[in-house]
Amino acid sequence: MADKRAVLKSIQETYPNYSIVGLIDASGRVVATSLGLLEGADVSHRSYFTDSRHGPYVGDLHDAVLLAKQLPRQSREPLRLLDVAAPVRDGQGNFTGVVVAHLDWAWARELASGLARSLKGHRAGSEIIILGKDGTVLLGPEPLWGKALPTGEEASDTGDGRIGVWPDDGKVYLSASAATGGYREYPGLGWRVVVRQDAGRALASVDELRRGILAAGGLVSLIAGLVAWLLAGRIARPMRNLASAAEALGRGEPLPPVADPIVREGRCIADALAGASDGIRRRDTTQRLLIDELNHRVKNTLATVQSMAVQSFRGIGEEAANPRRTFEARLLALSATHNILTEEGWHGADVRQLCAEAVRPFDDGRGRISHSGPAVYLRPQQALALSLALHELATNATKHGALSADAGRVDVAWTVTTEDGASRLGISWIERDRPAVRPPVRRGFGTRLLHRGLDDDRGPEIAFAPEGLRYAASLHLDGPSPAAP
């Protein structure tokens, strides 16, 4: 129980507006909470338990029932909570309970107050009010708590400004309302946000503006053409530069220098582009550091495995020399493929580069190994499997196949085809000009790797033709276009 409470408490501490976080078993009984309260209570009838059995759940605002007397309040506002819950499953996917967090409604009041304080200029002094799905006031002036606003202009959903008398203080306000939306798959709770401002203050600048327009109208009409002509170039040129900068950023290129636009919106766009460029650069730097660290650890692991193999085979005798060399060669092939994937940031690898690296240790410089095919990118897992398969084929060809004879040669080729709208890579290994080969009498690790290493829905074709071994396999390619970037 102490461990459970500690885990729940650490979850609660990640977000201070959680009043309490609890774990409920499959029968609906509270197992443990972050504060040690309500443990053993039966909550099987509560919506956050019944509705979260199959997926994440967010409940609407409600007054606290069990927690109202156990959690002290520093204000007159009653304890009101939002329930956020999700199912807990074991390793086999079986339902074992629910984890629930009760979010204190004070969070919304602080957020709305902060937003209202951030309003400047003619928007200063505005109030933010939140209405529930049924139209009752969830957040706003205390006299309106829990009451429904009259269905008048002040509660309009059109988003246009309205003027009307409000029931809490009888004053005339300019107000507007908008329905809230959800987020991704979350549909939302059907709330509405109303913003109101004293009508006298909101419209104070209107008369002043009207007089200014009448006084300056004649002068503006005379100089408007000249001003437009002078400013057109100074406005259009920076905006074109901003458009070019946005295109460069979208292509992943460094953000080019952008002259400071003279219009506020242009400066806002320039600042946003600069912020986005910095964020992308920091993200790329962090990703590169993580990849480098991962590659370093993989290299250390491969080196450790190689050292363990040397030590393990050392005491067995001379008969273990060949298995040890075979095992070390496979490790080196795996390491070489890791180098290629590291250079590509583990996004994938080109088949041409994989093939060249896999057969490089077996190429004697006489051009007996040829490879050809289009530029194709494979996923990291596919790249590792194909590299090991090519290594095994080259090893077998050196020992028993075409590369064991002076006149023998190997052709490696691959093509891309489309079947039922999906792209597939077909790759073949063909040995020529050597004495007849015979199928192996037993299936070792290399043979099993060739049969199942690519792990695709189609098995490979292996034929021991008179002129040499023939191997053909295919792989499913992700995405509509298999070409390398």
Q: pTM for the complete prediction?
A: 0.41
How crowded is residue 280: how many other Cβ atoms within 10 Å of its Cβ? 14
Average of per-residue pLDDT across 438-461: 66
**Residue 59 CB neighbour total at 10 angstroms:** 19
The dihedral built from the CA positions of residue 208, 211, 214 and 219, taken in this order, carries a sign that is negative
Answer for the pair 462, 392: CB distance below 8 angstroms, yes or no: no
Among residues 79, 81, 83, which one has the least CA distance to residue 68? 79
CA separation, residue 260 to residues 205, 231, 241, 280, 321 (Å): 31, 14, 10, 22, 70
Q: At the topology level of CATH, where does 2-104 sit?
A: Beta-Lactamase (3.30.450)
CA separation for the pair 378, 371 (Å, rounded): 17
Tokens of 467: 């002129």
Nearest in space to 446 (alpha carbons), one of 375, 395, 382, 402: 395
- For 211-246, the pLDDT digits (tens) are 777 777 767 777 877 777 666 666 666 666 767 777
361-379: pLDDT as tens digits: 777 777 788 889 898 888 8
CATH of 108-202, one of 3.30.499.10, 3.40.50.970, 3.30.465.10, 3.30.450.20: 3.30.450.20
Q: What is the pLDDT of residue 98?
A: 95
Tokens of 356: 């060249």
List pLDDT tens digits, range 38-53.
889 899 999 999 999 8
Rounded Cα–Cα distance for residues 147 and 296 (Å): 63
Residue 67, pLDDT score = 79
**Cα 22 from Cα 3, distance rounded (Å):** 13
Task: Determine the Cα–Cα distance for residues 473 and 451; give it in Å rounded to an integer.
Answer: 9
How far apart, in whole angstroms, are the C-alpha atoms of residue 58 and residue 75?
A: 26
Angle between helices 264-314 and 321-343 (to 10 degrees): 180
Mean pLDDT, range 336-351, rounded to an integer = 76
Of 403, 399, 392, 406, nearest to 471 by C-alpha is 392
Higher-scoring residue by pLDDT: 209, 64: 64
Topology of domain 332-477 in CATH is: Heat Shock Protein 90 (3.30.565)
* CB contact at 8 A, 62 and 81: yes
The Cα 297–Cα 387 span in angstroms is: 21
Q: Give the integer Cα–Cα distance in Å for 342 and 294.
A: 10
Cα–Cα distance, 352 to 154 (Å, whole number): 68
Give residue 124's pLDDT band: very low, low, confident or very high (50, 70, 90).
confident
Query: Given this model, what pLDDT does residue 72 score?
Result: 72
- Whether residue 300 is predicted with pLDDT greater than 80 in this model: the reply is no
Q: What does the angle CA 22 – CA 28 – CA 34 come to, to the nearest 5 degrees?
A: 10
